[in-house]
Structure 1
């Protein structure tokens, strides 16, 4: 059995990406960061939505439009596909533990809302 809060002994200069569940349309991963940031001038521009929760530590995300968000343990956010962003800060002590879910998350949410409306009309 694995523990989401367990920090591997080999934590060093590189972020750790650990796949928890992976399928054709979904990826759930644990990410451990300890001071790592996105390299200068680089931006993430992912082809799928990403929902992320910071389970431990502190971090800061910057968006291409200049907006910045400071995260603490328990904070989560949805990054829609092709939302340019970068990691500006991650705490060393304690290290950041992230849980990230990648996939077509917004479309699923829209579909669920439509289905819920249909159920409400039928009842």
Structure 2
């Protein structure tokens, strides 16, 4: 048995977010995302071909989904982003890494 810890061995992620695939099976993919001060440009929203459930494990962040107000996320907060929905990470903590668990459903 091998035990892993998603909060150890974090990449610096100061220039760009760091994505690490954790699991890939037919119909589902899980990844760890490490952010450190990044945000999504207003004119370049993220739009995905799959549904996504995201959980903030560490740090803090703001997220906005089209036609909704920005929400502040803290450790333990999770939300659903439907495929095709435009969304923006409006801010992430600059003083410490923000660590996300993202699960994509094909």
Q: TM-score, normalised by structure 1?
A: 0.76
Give the equivalent residue in structure 1 for 2:26.
24
> Which is worse superposed, 47-56 or 20-29?
20-29
Give the equivalent residue in structure 2 for 1:70.
72
Choose between structure 1 and 2 for higher RCO, CA contacts under 8 A separated by at least 6 residues: 2
Give the equivalent residue in structure 2 for 1:15.
17
Q: Say which structure is richer in helix.
A: 1
Q: Quick one: distance in 2 between partners of 1:86 and 1:9?
A: 22
Change (3 A) 1:26 1:86: same
Deviation at 1:92, TM superposition (A): 2.1
Q: Say which structure is richer in strand.
A: 2
Deviation at 1:11, TM superposition (A): 3.5
SS of 1:87's partner is strand
2:86 corresponds to which of 84, 87, 94: 84
Q: Quick one: distance in 1 between partners of 2:11 and 2:32?
A: 16
Q: Quick one: distance in 2 between partners of 1:87 and 1:44?
A: 9
Q: Quick one: distance in 2 between partners of 1:19 and 1:103?
A: 14
Give the paired residue count: 104
SS of 1:31's partner is strand
Give the equivalent residue in structure 1 for 2:39.
37
In our comparison, the structure showing a higher alpha carbon Rg is: 1
Q: TM-score, normalised by structure 2?
A: 0.88
Alignment RMSD, CA only?
1.6
User: 4+ residue runs of structure 1 moved beyond 6 angstroms?
Assistant: none
